Structure 1
Amino acid sequence: MLLQNSFPDIKIKGNSYIPVNDSIFINTTKKDLILLLERSRVLWKRINNENISGKAEHPGFSYLSPMEWYQFAEMHIRHHIQQKKEIENKIKSS
C-alpha cells in the first residue's frame, strides 16, 4: 500500500450509520482544514530535517515510521476526497 502510495481499489463494508452533527458549519470546517494544512507543513519540515527514528503502531496497518505516518495521512485524505467525488457523481446521476 505504501509502495503504491494509495489504498487498494476495493470497497470495505463499514458501519453505515454516520451521525449528523448540525453544529459543524462550512466556514469552521474550512478554517480547520487551513489550520491542518499549516500544521502539516510544519510536521513535514520536522520529519525531513530531524533525525527521527522509531515506529508507532497503527491499529490496522502495523508499525509505521514518521514518514510512513505522514504518507498514510495524505493517502487517507486523498481516499476521502475520491469517496466524496463518487458520492457527488451518484447524486448527479440520480
Structure 2
Amino acid sequence: MTRLKDIAKACKSKNAGPFHITLDIMFDQPALFERVRASGVVSAELIARLYGVPVGEVLFTEYPPALAWKATIPRRIASGAVGDTDVYGAQQHAPLLDIEIPD
C-alpha cells in the first residue's frame, strides 16, 4: 500500500464560508491520478468516515481535467466561533494524508 501523501501533489483544506470546509486532493501526473481513481478508494463515503459526517452531507466532486478531487463538508464549529481551533480551516487535511492506495 502507498499513502496518499507520498503520491499526491497536494492535499489541502480551506474554509468554504464560515460553516463548511473544502478538501482538495491534487495530482501532477495523470498516471498517478488514474491509479488512485481506478482503486475507488477516494470517495464521498471515505470522506464521511474520515471526518465523522453523514455521507449525505459530503459534496464530492471528481475533476479529471485537473487531476483532482474536491469534497466540501460541514464544519463542526463555525469559523471563529467559541471553541474553533482552526479559523481558516487550513489544518483539516491531515486525515487525507494517510489514505492507503493499493499498489
TM range (shorter): under 0.3
Task: Report the TM-score when normalising by structure 1.
Answer: 0.25
Structure holding more helix per residue = 1
Hey, which of these two has a bigger chunk of strand by percent? 2
Structure with more relative contact order (C-alpha pairs < 8 Å, separation 6 or more): 2
Larger Rg: 1
